[in-house]
Structure 1
Amino acid sequence: MNEWAVRWDIEEVNSEDIHGYAYYELKFDEEPTYDSFVSKIIRTKYSADEEAALKSNMVEQLLNGSQPITRFDEWQNFQVLRTNAKTIGKQIFNI
């Protein structure tokens, strides 16, 4: 069916009501790569337009220098997501 799934943080769940596994999963239409995996994780939270706007706003504020950086918390959240995606991707794709 040309569908690929990448699963991580797999844990066995055993309780009175449930016996099975809990995990995170992303599905792909083609064989996933490290780059496509990282991009897809980022896209689960930020669209390409949102990411571009955030980057443009940060560059503008950093170059201007005359106003406080108003989107710093959002930028930090983006960087944490990106770093985590890369860390997980490196483990999955043996990089």
Structure 2
Amino acid sequence: MDTISTSSKDERIEIRISAADKQVFLKAQKMSGDKSFSSFLVRIVKEKATEIIAKNEVIIASEQDREKFFEAVFSSQKPNKRLIEAAKRYKSKIALL
């Protein structure tokens, strides 16, 4: 995964939240040890965003693998020489068990 990192903080995000949500966030920030509310929010949102990205990248990779598998199994292509040799080696090893 590519990480986006910049040394300058030029961007702003403005959000509106309920008073109750803000109190929960402030309480969590104090318990977390983060020095500022902004640093707490950025850290938490970045952690969650990284988790979401990682999870979705695994899903996408799994989907691509699934497509390749089914394409290989159900395509009309005949196995190439390397695949035939690998199958023979596998069968000879299994026969020894």
Same fold (TM over 0.5): no
More helix by share: 2
Q: Which has the higher contact order (CA 8 A, sep 6+)?
A: 1
More strand by share: 1
If you compute each CA radius of gyration, which structure gives the higher value, 1 or 2?
2
TM class by smaller structure? under 0.3
